[in-house]
Structure 1
Amino acid sequence: MSTPGQQPPDPIPGARLLFSLDPAVAHLNHGSYGAVPIGVQRAQQRLRDETESNPMRFFVRGLTDRISHSRRHLATFLGADPAGTALIGNATAGAAIVLQSVRLNSGDEVIVTDHGYGAVLFAAERECRRTGAVVRTLSVPQTATDPEIVEIVRAGLRPGRTKLLIVDQITSPTARLFPAAAIVPVAREAGVPVLVDAAHAPGMLPDPVAAIGADFWMGNLHKWGYAPRGTAVLSVAPRWRGRIEPLVVSWEQQSGFPSNVEYQATLDYTPWLAAPVGVFTLRTLGVDTVRAHNAALAAYGQRVVGAALGLGPEALPDPGGPTVSMRLVPLPPGVATSVDEAVALRNRISDQLRTEVAVSAWGGRGFLRLSGQVYNRPDEYDRLAERLPALLAELA
C-alpha cells in the first residue's frame, strides 16, 4: 500500500523481541497502557520475590532510601529537580494532589481546555464541588496554531479569580502537542499557577519538565518510558513544595514533600524500584532513535489508514511536533460520535480485526488514534487499512 514518500522507518534490530505481547494481535495503542519490556518485568518480579521472602526487612530497612534513589534517576532523565519531584501511582493521582493543595475557595475557578483527559476533568469537578469553586472549559479548535492556542488561554484567564490552569503537554483525545512552554509565562504574568498534564511526555519528549517550567508537572513513565504500570512523577516548583499535601497521610508526613507523598505504608513499591531498568532499556535502544522511529511509524500508519478511508494528507491532523508518536485519523461523519459509540467501535476492532487502537469522540466527531512503538511493524497498519473500511461499512 506504500506510495513514494510514504515509506515506513526501518525497524530497530531486536526491539520487537524485548516484549511479551501476543503476536496474534496488532498492538497499535501503546499510548493507553504501554507495554513493559521483558527485562523490566523480570526486574520487578525479583523485587516482588525479595518482598515476599522477608516483608519486614523490605519495608523497614532502607525502603525510603531506595525510593529516593529511583526518584533521582527518573527525575534526572526527565530534566526535573529530584528534590521537587515525587513518585506517584499515575498522573491522575497527581492532579488530585495538586487540586487539593492549591486550596480552592468559593468563587474561585479552575480552567481546563476541551482537549484535556477526562479523569483529570472529573478530579477538578470533584474538588470544585467540595470547595465551592467552579471549572471553566476553554474551547480550542483542533486546527488552532500554537500562537492561537496561547491567545485563547490568555483571553480566558481571569486574574484574582482563576486559581489554577490545567493544560496538556500532549493531549490524549486529540494527540496534539500543546505549546505549554509558551502558555506557562502567559499564566505567570496573570498570577495564575499552571498544572501541566504530561501523561505522554516521559520518554517521548526530550527534557519535558525543564523545557516547560510549570508550577506543577505530572507525567506517566509506563507509557513511553518502559516502566511498570503504576509509575508516574509529580514535579513541583520550589514555592509550592511546602503546601503539597498527600492524598493519604502516613509515617513520612513530617518529612514533607516529596517523601510524604511517596510513602504510603504497604503500597507496592516494586514498579518504582524497577522503573530505572525501563529507562536503561530505552537508552540501550537509543533514545533519539526510538523517538524518531516511533513518530515516523505513527505517521505512516496515519497515512495508510487515512488513505483507506478516502482522506488526503490535508485532512489528517498534524500532531504539532516531530517526536509525537501518536496520530489521529478522522472517522466518517456519524461514526463514534459519543463515548459509548467510541468504546463499542474500539471493542469491535479488537474482536473482529485483532487490532488494539484507541477511539475517541471529540467535538462531535469520531477519531481513531494510532500509536507507533518499536515492537510495531508497518504491515500491522497496512492490514488495519485493508480491513477497517469494510467494518465501518457494516456500521453504516
Structure 2
Amino acid sequence: MGSSLEPRPLTFPTNQWTLDPTLTFLNHGSYGSVPRSVQEAQAEVRARMERDPVRFFKVDLERMLDEVRERIGGLVHCRASDIAPMPNATVALCTVLNNTKLGPGDEVLITDHEYMSIVNELERVCAATGARVVKAKVPFPIESPEQVTEAVLGAATPRTKIAFIAHITSATSLIFPVTAIVRGLMARGIEVCVDGAHTPGQIEVDVQGLAPTYYVGSFHKWLSCPKGSGFLYVRSDKQAGFRPHALSSRAHKVRPERALFLRDFDYVGTNDYSAMLCVPQAIDALRGMLPGGLTALYRSNHDLALKAREIVCRALGVSAPAPDAMIGSMVTIPLPEPAAEMMSRGTEYDDPLQDELIRRHRIVAPIWRLSADNRRVIRVSAHQYNTTEQFETLAQALLEELAREHPKRVSA
C-alpha cells in the first residue's frame, strides 16, 4: 500500500458537483453523481425533445444515437455497429440471458462475487428451462488474480453453455483477470458475457482486444452520466436473431440500409432517451477533469482509493484484503461482526452501522454482507470530489460506531 496521507488537491472545482454539501459522500460506485455540466446538457436534450416530439423520435433520435455509439466505441474500443444502447447493465445482462437458448442439463457459470441481479434472473430462467447455475468459489480476502482464473476455469464443464463474469465485482471491488478467463473459457467453446457495470470511467476497457461474446456496462456509475444509460456489446456473428425484450411498433419495417440489430435497439418504444444521449458530454466532462485526460483520472482515483484503504485498514487493525493491482477506484474492507442484539435490529439501509454513519456522521458508504460467506464489509469509493481528510473522518466514525456496537468490549 502507499504511504503518503497528504491531502490531495482538488483540480476539478467541487461546485461542478451538486452533491449535498452536508454529506461525506463515499459511494460513487452505486449510483454515481452527475457533474453540473452534464445535467445541463441533459436538460437541453429534454427541451429539444419537448419542442418537437414527433421530429425528435421519428427523425433525430436514430442519428443522435449513432453519434453516441461512435463515442462509446471510442471509449471501450469496439465497433459502433456492435453496440446496443441500454438503460443499465442489469437490463443488458438480462437481454443476453434471454437470448441464450438453455435446456435441461445446461449449466450457466458465474462466481460467488457476481451481482445479485444476474443471480436473481438466472434463478428465474433456470427454473423455467431446467438449466442450472454453477458458482465458482473465489476467496475474499484474496492474494492474486490467478486464484480467480483457477476457480472459474476449474468450475467449467462440458455442460457449461455460457459464463457471466464480472470485470470489476460490485460487493468486493475486485478487478478480475477477464482476459485470461475469457480466453480460457472460449477455448473450450463456452460463450462469455463480461459484466462491466463498474468499468466505464473507472478503468481502461478494450472490448475488441478482450473479444468476449458479449460485454455490458453502465454509464451512470463511474462515467458520471445521468441514470438510465448503459450499453451492450454483441459480437457481430451473434447479432442475427438477437432481439430486445420488447419489439417496438417499427420492428416489422424493412430497411435494407440499416442492420436489424441496430433498428431493434435504436427504439424500444417511447422513453426518455436523454440520459443515453448525454454520454458524449459525460466522457468530455471526465476527460477534462485532469490535464492528462482519462488516463490521469483513472490513476488519480486509483491512488486515492488505495489511500482510503490504508487509512481505514490501519484504523481497524486489518490487512489489505486484495493486491493493489486488483483495485480500481473503490475498495472493500472486512468489518467486525456486531453484537448479537444488533443483528435483529431493523435498518433503513443494509446494516445498522450504515444507518448510524449517515444519521450521526452524515457519511454515505455502503455496508453489506457478502453472499458467499455472509461476511460483513464496507465499500468505499474515491472520486475527484473526495479528499484524504474525508477518509480519516470515516475511519474515526467507524471506530466510534463499532465501539458503540460493543460497549462491554471497550470497557473491559
Shorter chain as denominator, the TM-score bin is over 0.9
Deviations 1:92-135 (A, max 9, x none): 10111100111111221111100100111111111112222111
Match of 1:318 in 2: 322
The SS at the match of 1:49 is: helix
The SS at the match of 2:308 is: helix
Match of 1:292 in 2: 299
Match of 1:367 in 2: 377
Superposed, 1:179-258 pairs within 5 Å as: 179-254=177-252, 255-258=259-262
The SS at the match of 1:248 is: coil
Match of 1:35 in 2: 33
Q: Name segments (4+ residues, structure 1) moved above 6 Å.
A: 335-341
Match of 1:91 in 2: 89
Superposed, 1:131-142 pairs within 5 Å as: 131-142=129-140
Query: Among residues 30, 42, 67, which one is paired with 1:69 in the alignment?
Result: 67
Q: Which stretch shifts more, 142-151 or 93-102?
A: 142-151
- 2:342 maps to 1:329: no
Shift of 1:53: 2.0
Q: How many Å separate the matches in 1 of 2:194 and 2:2?
A: 39
The SS at the match of 1:219 is: strand
- Paired AA for residue 350 in structure 1: I
Question: Does the CA contact (< 8 Å) of 2:175 and 2:327 recur in 1?
Answer: no
Match of 1:388 in 2: 398
Query: Among residues 254, 271, 282, which one is paired with 2:275 in the alignment?
Result: 271
Q: How many Å separate the matches in 1 of 2:251 and 2:7?
A: 49
Deviations 1:65-106 (A, max 9, x none): 111111111121111211111110000101111001111112
Question: Does the CA contact (< 8 Å) of 1:15 and 1:374 recur in 2?
Answer: no
The SS at the match of 1:257 is: helix
Q: TM-score, normalised by structure 2?
A: 0.89
Aligned-pair identity (%): 31
User: Closer, same or farther in 2 for the Cα pair 1:9/1:101, shift >3 Å?
Assistant: farther
Superposed, 1:111-150 pairs within 5 Å as: 111-142=109-140, 143-150=142-149
Match of 2:156 in 1: 157
The SS at the match of 2:288 is: helix
Q: Which stretch shifts more, 340-349 or 135-144?
A: 340-349
Q: How many Å separate the matches in 2 of 1:190 and 1:183?
A: 11
Match of 2:410 in 1: none
Q: How many Å separate the matches in 1 of 2:217 and 2:343?
A: 28
Match of 1:49 in 2: 47
User: Closer, same or farther in 2 for the Cα pair 1:179/1:9, shift >3 Å?
Assistant: farther
Question: Does the CA contact (< 8 Å) of 1:247 and 1:261 recur in 2?
Answer: no
- Paired AA for residue 64 in structure 1: E
Shift of 1:322: 6.9
Q: How many Å separate the matches in 1 of 2:11 and 2:265?
A: 40
Question: Does the CA contact (< 8 Å) of 1:246 and 1:261 recur in 2?
Answer: yes
Aligned-pair Cα RMSD in Å: 2.2
Question: Does the CA contact (< 8 Å) of 1:198 and 1:219 recur in 2?
Answer: yes
- Paired AA for residue 375 in structure 1: Y
The SS at the match of 1:135 is: strand
Match of 2:359 in 1: 351
Gaps of 5+ in 2: 253-258, 407-412
Deviations 1:20-71 (A, max 9, x none): 1111101101000000000000000111111222222221122111111111
Q: How many Å separate the matches in 2 of 1:282 and 1:80?
A: 20
The SS at the match of 2:279 is: helix
Q: How many Å separate the matches in 2 of 1:136 and 1:79?
A: 31
User: Closer, same or farther in 2 for the Cα pair 1:129/1:231, shift >3 Å?
Assistant: same
The SS at the match of 1:101 is: coil
- Paired AA for residue 289 in structure 1: A
Match of 1:104 in 2: 102
Question: Does the CA contact (< 8 Å) of 1:88 and 1:231 recur in 2?
Answer: yes
Q: How many Å separate the matches in 2 of 1:279 and 1:338?
A: 44
- Work out the number of aligned pairs and report it: 390
The SS at the match of 1:373 is: coil
The SS at the match of 1:324 is: coil
Q: How many Å separate the matches in 1 of 2:55 and 2:84?
A: 23
User: Closer, same or farther in 2 for the Cα pair 1:13/1:144, shift >3 Å?
Assistant: closer
Shift of 1:8: 4.6
Q: Which stretch shifts more, 5-14 or 149-158?
A: 5-14
Shift of 1:226: 2.0
Question: Does the CA contact (< 8 Å) of 2:8 and 2:388 recur in 1?
Answer: no
Q: How many Å separate the matches in 1 of 2:87 and 2:345?
A: 26
Shift of 1:334: 4.7
User: Closer, same or farther in 2 for the Cα pair 1:263/1:344, shift >3 Å?
Assistant: farther
- Paired AA for residue 384 in structure 2: V
Q: How many Å separate the matches in 2 of 1:80 and 1:31?
A: 24
Q: How many Å separate the matches in 2 of 1:226 and 1:395?
A: 35
User: Closer, same or farther in 2 for the Cα pair 1:359/1:167, shift >3 Å?
Assistant: same
Question: Does the CA contact (< 8 Å) of 2:26 and 2:382 recur in 1?
Answer: yes
Q: How many Å separate the matches in 1 of 2:156 and 2:345?
A: 29
Q: How many Å separate the matches in 1 of 2:22 and 2:242?
A: 46
Q: How many Å separate the matches in 1 of 2:323 and 2:83?
A: 28
The SS at the match of 1:61 is: helix
